[in-house]
Amino acid sequence: MSLIRSRLKLILYLICGLTDFASFAVIFAVSRALAEGRAESWYLGLVGAGLSFSAAVGSILGGWLAHRFDGRVVFVAGAVATPLCIVACALGDPLSSRFLLGYWLLGIGLGFLYPPLIGWLNHGEDAHANRRGVSRTLVLFCVAWNVGMMCGQLTSGVLFEWGKDWVYGVVLFAALANLLLAVVAVFQVASFSAVSIDRTHQEVEAAELAAGFKRLSWIANLGGMFGASMVIHLLPDLAVAIGVQPEAHGKLLASWRGVIIGTYLLMHYVDQWHYRLSTALASQALAAFGLLMIARAESAWALLAGLTLLGQLVGYNYFSGLFYSTAGSSHERRALAAGIHEGTLAAGMAIGTIAGGVLGSLVGRRMPYLLAAVVMLVLIVVQSTAWWRWVQPLRKGKPGAVTQTS
């Protein structure tokens, strides 16, 4: 059984990398083509928001379906959606409604694929008795999909200069290989058995504390991805305006991903951030300053500085949210918790993209980043208030949990 689990994990990590390689290469190609075609900011926002909204719906629905029914069917459906989306985008006109429906299918695919996958990766792992083991699984997962995304952005940045058809051809091949791996994976998942773990009193208290931080992470996700959405969907407009070429644009996004991956690795080896609101809020404050730097940027180097500060928050929010979702949920509900985690990320991106797109058209292409900084600061206040209601009573009333996690 141990050999089967190890082989399955390797396949799942590879699926993560190929999924995000294909998905974000498509996102780059679509957003860059629209920006070079002088599409209005509000339309860029609409296109990106629709993708993020579909990902939010797909994540929550996919997590619920995987929890209530057979996660293998949900997983394969997500893997099937990616090549269908690529074909639709390659053949369609970016300004047509039919194109948008095909593009937004990508979000449904991602939403269906990841919740059951995350649940399978953590199957049988106790986040309190074996915290380091769970952290290792999560960091490898995070590195896998971020390396895939980074490679997709670098590759699409180079291939786009040859023509967008090159981008779609390469990523379609990757998506079809990914679908084959997904089918192989679901046959191995069938060997899983039900898990029942007896926890000590301290571990039960720690799980309750983790559940409180899990809810705080969902709020943080909204603000963090509100800002990150500007980078993924609206930055092409600013990059074109200040003269950043496609290849350099791709390198900027890859560097941003490098910062995010570095944050994951740091959080894996250093656990002082566990159950500490102050660390989370400091990360968000740095990201708000980074957004201000992006808003004032006049060169690729200035953009890189701002992206670095924003990237550390994206990494922090994602890794901590996954950790708390795992530690604060039973084995049976981890796919659902992962779906809500992914859903709040996508919802923040959807809201940020549409608000930023409209503001960019009405006021200017730099204003969305200022708006994102303000939203992030407001949500810092919201999280502080929620902490006193959700978490502080647990710390006061349960000294065992405080000893275990502080």
Q: Residue 289: what pLDDT?
A: 97
Mean pLDDT of 219-236: 87
Contacts of 311 (CB under 8 A, 6+ apart): 256, 257, 259, 260, 263, 290
**Band of residue 1 on the pLDDT scale cut at 50, 70, 90:** very low
Q: Kindly write down the DSSP assignment for every residue of 346-381, as one continuous string.
A: HHHHHHHHHHHHHHHHHT-TTHHHHHHHHHHHHHHH
Q: What is the pLDDT of residue 226?
A: 93
Write down the pLDDT at residue 405: 37
Amino acid identity, position 325: S
pLDDT averaged over every residue in the chain: 84
What's the average model confidence in pLDDT over 360-366?
85
Q: Does the domain spanning 2-190+201-405 belong to CATH 1.20.1250.20?
A: yes
Which one has a higher pLDDT value, 329 or 349? Answer: 349
406 pLDDT exceeds 60? no
Model confidence band, residue 107 (pLDDT cutoffs 50, 70, 90) = very high
Give tens-digit pLDDT for 22-80: 998 888 888 888 877 877 777 877 888 888 889 989 999 998 998 888 889 999 999 99
> For 183-204, how does the pLDDT look when each residue is reduced to its tens digit (9 = 90+)?
999 988 865 555 555 555 566 6
Whole-number pLDDT of residue 400 = 39
**Amino acid making up residue 395:** R
Query: 4-13, 86-95, 226-235, 290-299 — which one is most confidently predicted on average?
Result: 290-299
Closest CA to 154 of 246, 270, 79, 82: 246
Collapse the DSSP code of 174 into the 3-class scheme (helix H, G, I; strand E, B; otherwise coil) and give the result: helix
State residue 97's pLDDT score: 75
**Angstrom distance (rounded) from CA 386 to CA 60:** 23
Query: Average pLDDT of 204-225?
Result: 87
pTM: 0.80
Q: Give the mean pLDDT of 114-135.
A: 71
Banded model confidence at residue 160, pLDDT cuts 50, 70, 90: confident
Tell me the pLDDT band of 2, cut-offs 50, 70 and 90. Answer: low
Non-local CB neighbours of 97 within 8 Å, separated by 6+ positions: none
| Neighbour tally for 169: CB within 10 Å | 13
Q: Are 116 and 86 in contact (CB under 8 A)?
A: no
Q: How far apart are CA 217 and CA 230, in angstroms?
A: 20
The CA distance from 26 to 87, in Å, is 10
Name the residue with higher pLDDT: 264 or 99: 264
pLDDT of 235 > 70? The answer is yes
pLDDT score, position 215: 92
The residue-averaged pLDDT of 118-135 equals 67
pLDDT in tens, 294-324: 999 999 999 999 999 999 999 999 999 988 9
pLDDT at 78 (0 to 100)? 94
Determine contact, residues 224/395, Cβ cutoff 8 Å: no
Task: Provide the sign of the torsion angle of the four alpha carbons 188, 321, 45, 238, taken in this order.
Answer: negative
Is the per-residue pLDDT at 403 higher than 50?
no
Check residue 299 and report its DSSP letter.
S
